[in-house]
Amino acid sequence: MSSGTPLYQNLDTEFVNLWSLLRKLTQQGFIGRVHVELPDYSADVFLDGSSTPLVREIDRAANTETIEQGLLHRVVLRARETPGVINVFAGADEATTQPTPAVTPEYQRTFDRSRAADSNILPETPEAMSEAISNPVTHEQAAAPIEGREDVYRSGSYEDWPAILTATGELIGAVERGVNAAGGDFAALFGAVRLELADDYIFLDPIAQTLHYSDGVVSLRTQPAVGVFVAGLSEALRRTVNLVAFGDRERRVRERIALEILPVARRRTDTLERSGLRPQLDRIAGTIVI
């Protein structure tokens, strides 16, 4: 797509936080293009100084190409799920859409070889090690990584925000009761987890105050994509539960939280299912809810 030399070349998505990189470039007033290359998928983010950059996605497995504004979170989720590389090209000529060639077979072979060589290596970054230690698998279904799956989140297919926020407030309230009953300080723990996840899910940033929660009621100043909201919120609640569910009392705490969630699951079944929150309930509690 470009004959120029990348400003940053072959950045590994396993070590570089794409969302943080995009935010930093935007804050610096960068003009150019960020190219993300994954197996069977690529994306270009065209940064031209606008608050909502144009994004092109090419899904070679599905043989589709999409060009829209505001798809940043979807690209970030794909980059988090699948190892790949990022290249950054500077210049006004890079900030406009151009035809994109498919990934070459040689690139695919090189990528596959490198991933096969690394497949048995434990995570080496502090963040990856911390995640592995602090979030043990307690239930196969609950721990299954499903962020970004279109069959779960169905991006853009459900936009009833009043219903979503009502169900969300009740869900957070249920987790809050369970955490506090276990002797934890939900407000402090949830706030700390939100700060940890702010780079990946900016709406969770407590400093930005986009999301506000109090006494079972949630409000949003601006609405992200529904799938992004579900992924970020469920991960925040899961991590908050993990901070109090450990040791000899882990099973008891998780079952108590599941019991708190159960009435919400039954009362808000339709909204939770259609928004993508319903499949996350077991994962949040770390045990079967219903």
- Check residue 71 and give its pLDDT: 65
- Check residue 254 and give its pLDDT: 93
Amino acid letter, residue 2: S
The pTM assigned to this predicted structure is 0.51
Q: Which of 226, 248, 256, 218 is nearest to 152 (CA)?
A: 226
Strand partners, 219: 212
HSE (side-chain half, CA atoms, 13 Å) at 84:
23
- Check residue 74 and give its pLDDT: 74
DSSP 288: -
DSSP 62: T
3-state secondary structure of 70: coil
- Spatial CB neighbours of 229, under 8 Å, sequence gap ≥ 6: 164, 203, 223
- Check residue 130 and give its pLDDT: 38
Distance CA 88, CA 84 (A): 14
- Check residue 108 and give its pLDDT: 39
For the chain, domain boundaries: 8-118, 126-285
- Check residue 80 and give its pLDDT: 78
> Length of the chain in residues, anyone?
290
Give me the tens of pLDDT residue by residue for the chain, a chain 290 residues long: 555 568 888 898 888 888 888 888 888 888 999 999 999 899 999 988 876 788 899 988 888 888 887 667 778 878 877 889 999 999 888 888 765 444 433 333 333 433 333 333 233 333 433 343 334 333 333 333 333 333 333 434 567 899 999 999 999 999 999 999 999 999 999 999 999 999 889 999 988 889 999 999 999 998 888 889 999 999 999 999 999 999 999 999 999 999 999 999 999 999 998 898 998 999 999 988 87
- Check residue 125 and give its pLDDT: 38
